[in-house]
Amino acid sequence: MEPNITLLLVSGFLIACGVYLLLERSLTRILMGILLASNGVNLLYPIIAGRAGLPAFIGLSAADRITDPLPQAMVLTSIVITLATTAFLLTMAYRAFQVNGHDEVQDDVEDAVIRRLALLDEASESYDAGVTHGEPGEEAGSDTHETTGAARPGDPREGDR
Amino acid sequence: MSWLVPMPILLALFGAGLTLILGRRPMAQRAVSVSVLSAIVAVAGGLVYLADRDGPQVTWVAGWPAPQGISLVADRLSTVLLLVSSVICLLVLVFSLGQEEEQRRRETPISIYHPTFLALTAGVSNAFLTGDLFNLYVGFEILLFASFVLLTLGGTGDRIRAGTTYVVVSLVSSLLFLVALAAVYAATGTVNMALAGVRLAALPPEVQQVIHLLLITVFGIKAAVFPLSAWLPDSYPTAPAPVTAVFAGLLTKVGVYAIIRTQTVLFPEGALRVPMMVIGILTMVLGILGAIAQGEIKRILSFTLVSHIGYMIFGIALDSEAGLSAAIFYTVHHILVQTALFLVAGLIERRGGSTSLNELGGLASASPVLGALFLVPALNLAGIPPLSGFLGKVGLVRAGVGTHDWLAGVGVAAVLLTSLLSLFAVAKIWNRAFWQAMPLAENEDGKMVEAGLPLQPSMAVVAGMLVAVGLALTVFGGSMYGFTDRAAHDARHGDYITAVLPQGVR
C-alpha cells in the first residue's frame, strides 16, 4: 500500500499543533488542541483506506474499483465522538469560568499541601496530630512530639483551612 | 444460546433510554434501573455457566459474515469479569439510592444519574464482550463519557477541577487509541482481534513492536499503571462516594482486561515481558508509597488502587498460565474489595462528616458496625491470611517463584513489600479514624462531638453485602482458582481465536 504523503504531512502538522495547544493551561486552548489533534488523527483513516476509488455501493461500482469503506465507517464514528467531546469540554470550560472566573487548569490542592510540607521538611498533620489532642500513649508517632507541635505562625496549612 | 451474548449491552442501553424518559418520576426510574441491572446480573451468570460448559460463545452483530462484521465473544475471562462488574453496579446503585434523597436537595440535575450509570454499565459490558478492537474503542468511549458526567455531577468547583484532569487525560488516551487502531488496520487490514492476532504474527518485528507499544500505552493510561497513573488520585476522590466506588472497582480493570487481551490474543509470544514486569513492580511500590504520604481516606484508597493494579500487571507479565490465572483471580478480588472500601469511605464521610484523617476519630466506639465494615475489606486488601487478597497474592508469588527468573524474584519481593505497606496504609486509617479519640473532644469537656449523620441502615446493609461477596470469594477460593486456571488456559492456547474463526479464516 502506497500511503498518501500529502495527507500524512497534513495529519502530522495538525497533531503537532494540537499537542502544542494541549500543553497550555487554559481549558479553551486545550479544547482547541484536542480538536486539532483529533482532526489530525481522523485524517489517518483516509490514508489507511489506501488508494482512492469509486463509492462503495453494491451495484453501482465494480468491486475491484471501490475504495475501502471500513475506514470511512470508523472515521465517521470517531468524528461523532469528537463532536461530543467538544460539547462536553466547552461545557466544562464554561462551568469552570462560572465558578472560578477563569478556565485555567488548577493544581491539585492535596498535592500542593504535601509538596509544601516536603519542602519545609515537616511531618504531615496526619502524623503529628497526637500532640495537639493529648493522649500521647495511643499515638503511633509519639516519638516526633519534640519536633512538631501545634499550629505555628507560618504553618503552611493555615491558609487551607 | 448465543443470543444471550449482546443482552448485557442492549439491556443497559435500553434501560438508560427508559430512565432518561422517566426523569421526572424518581420512583419509576429507580425501579427500572434496579430491575435492568438485576437482569444483567442474571444474564452474566448464565453466560459464565455457558462459557464454562460449552466454551466461548460468539455472536456476529447484525448477521454480518465473519470476519467482516463485529464479533461479540463471551469466553471465561470476559464473562467472569462481566458477572463481577454487574454485581458491583447493582450493589452500588442500590447503595446510592440511600444517598439520593439528600443529594436531591443540594445538587440539581440528579435525574441524569440513573441514565448515566446505566450507560456506564453498557460501556463496561461492551468493552468486556467485544471481539473487535474498534468496538472496544467505542465501548471505552461510552464508559468514559458516562464517567465524565458522573465525575462532574453537580458541577461544583472541586469536581470541575478534578474532572478537568480526568477528561483531558482520557481524551488524549482515546486519540492514541485511534492512532493505534489506524496502525493495526493499515498493517493487517482488519480490526477483529482474533484475525488481527493471526495476521500480526506474520508482520516484521519492528512493526509489531510499534503497534504493541501503542496499545499497551493506551491501555496503561486506562488501567493507571505507574508513569501513566498520576491522573487517578487527583480525579477520583472528589466524586460522590458511590461513583468513586464504581470507578475504582471497574474502570481501571477494563484497562487491565484490555492488556490481558493484548498480551494473549494480539501478541501471544510474550513480547514486552521485561518492560511490563518493571512497570508492574514500579506501579506496586511507588503507588503504595504515595498512599502512605496521604492524609485523606479516599486519596489513600486511590493510591492503593494504583498500587494494586501493579499486582495484575506483574501477573500478566509473568507470561505463564499460573501468572495469568493469579492475575485474573486478583482482578476479581480487587474489584470487590476496592469497591467495598470506597463505599465504606462514603459511609465514614457520612458518619464522621469528613474523610480527612485530621478531622476523624472515635468511629470504632461511635459506630462498631462501621468499624467491622471497614476492617474486613481493609485486611482483605492487605492480604491477611484467610481472606481472598491472601489467596491472590499467594497465587502471584507462586507463579513468580515458578518462573526461576531474577526479575520475577524482584517482583515477588515487591509483592510482599507492597502487601506489608498496604497493611500500614490501612492501619493508619484504622488508628486515626477509628481508634484515636475524637480530635475535638477536648473542647467539649470530653464529650464526643457528633459531626456527621447517623448511619443509614440500607446503605450499611449494601456495603455489608459487598463485604460478604468478598468473603465468599475466600470460601469458594478453590473453585474460583479452578475457573481462572481454565480461563488462563483458554487465553493462552488460542481457544479464543479458534472460537471466533472456526474455519480458520486468514
Q: Is B320 helix (H, G, I), strand (E, B) or coil?
A: coil
Q: Which of B370, B365, B380 is nearest to B343 (CA)?
A: B370
Judged by CB atoms closer than 8 Å, whether chains meet at A41 and B175 is answered as yes
pLDDT class for A155, splitting at 50, 70, 90?
A: very low
Which residues partner with A66 through β-bridges?
Answer: A54
Phi and psi for A80 in degrees, rounded to 5? Answer: -60, -40
Q: List pLDDT tens digits, range B104-137.
A: 555 544 678 889 999 999 999 999 999 889 999 9
φ, ψ at A58 (rounded to 5°): -70, 130
The sign of the CA dihedral A23, A27, A30, A32 is negative
Nearest-angstrom CA–CA distance, B411 and B314: 7
- With a cut of 70, which residues of chain B have pLDDT below it? 1, 100-110, 438-453, 504-506
Identify whether the C-beta of residue A20 lies closer than 8 Å to the C-beta of residue A85. Answer: no
- Asked if the model's pLDDT at residue A112 lies above 90, the reply is no
Task: Please answer yes or no on whether A47 and B164 come within 8 Å at the CB atom.
Answer: no
**Number of domain units in chain A:** 1
CB-CB under 8 Å, B295 with A27: no
Does A99 contact B155 at a Cβ distance shorter than 8 Å? Answer: yes
Site from B171, B356, B442, B444 to mutate, A interface, most A CB atoms within 10 angstroms: B171
pLDDT at position A148 is 40
Q: How far is CA A144 from the centre of its chain?
A: 40
With CA atoms as reference, report the closest residue to B46 among B3, B89, B14, B11: B3
Show the domain range for A36.
5-55+66-110
Pick B157's closest partner by Cβ from A22, A47, A99. A99
A22, A92, A133 ranked by CB distance to B442: nearest = A133
d(CA B47, CA B4): 7
Residue A105's domain is classified under what CATH number?
1.10.287
Q: Hunting for cell 482482578 — which residue is that? A: B331
Nearest to A85 among B160, B171, B431 (CB): B171
> Residue B442: its pLDDT value, please?
47
Angle between helices B252-261 and B321-352 (to 10 degrees): 170
> Which residue's C-alpha cell is 489532642?
A133
Q: Is residue A152 part of a domain?
A: no
Distance from CA of A33 to the nearest CA of B (A): 10
Q: Is the pLDDT of residue A136 over 80?
A: no
b/e for A144-160, b at 16 or more Cβ within 10 A?
A: beeebeeeeeeebeeee
Residues with Cβ < 8 Å from B220, sequence gap 6 or more?
Answer: B228, B255, B259, B279
In a domain, A15, yes or no: yes
How many other CB atoms are found less than 10 A from the CB of residue B447? 11
What cell does B234 get?
487527583
Predicted pLDDT at A141? 40
Model confidence at A161, in pLDDT bands (50, 70, 90)?
Answer: very low
Question: How far apart, in whole angstroms, are the C-alpha atoms of residue B460 and residue B482?
Answer: 32
Pairwise CA distance, residues A36 & B343, whole Å: 40
Helix axes B76-106, B477-492, angle to 10 degrees: 120
Cell of B73: 465473544
Q: Average pLDDT, whole number, for chain A?
A: 75
Instruction: With CB atoms and an 8 Å threshold, state whether A135 touches B436.
Output: yes
Q: For B164, which of A48, A84, A105 is closest by C-beta distance?
A: A105
Q: C-alpha cell of B38?
A: 438485576
Write down the pLDDT at residue A137. Answer: 41
Are B175 and A22 an interchain contact pair (Cβ–Cβ within 8 Å)? no
Verify whether the Cβ–Cβ distance B234 to A105 is below 8 Å.
no
Chains A–B, number of C-beta pairs less than 8 Å apart: 108
Enumerate chain B positions whose Cβ falls within 8 A of a Cβ in A: 134, 138, 141, 145, 148, 152, 155-157, 160-161, 163-165, 167-168, 171-172, 174-175, 178-179, 181-182, 185-186, 191, 234, 293-296, 299, 357-358, 428, 431-432, 435-437, 439, 441-442
Q: Can you tell me the distance from the alpha carbon of A5 to that of A10, in angstroms, rounded to the nearest whole number?
A: 9
Asked if residue A118 is part of any domain, the answer here is no
Chain centroid offset of residue B271 CA: 25
Distance CA B395, CA B384 (A): 14
pLDDT at A149: 39
**pLDDT tens across A77-110, in order?**
999 999 998 999 898 888 888 888 877 877 777 7
Q: Bridge partners of A104? A: A26
Residues of chain A neighbouring B179 (CB-CB closer than 8 A) = 41, 44
Query: Could you give the ipTM of this predicted complex?
Result: 0.82
- In angstroms, what separates the C-alpha of A60 from chain B's closest C-alpha? 21
Q: Which residues of A touch B357 (CB under 8 A)?
A: 126
Rg of chain B in Å (alpha carbons): 22
Classify residue A28: in a domain, yes or no.
yes
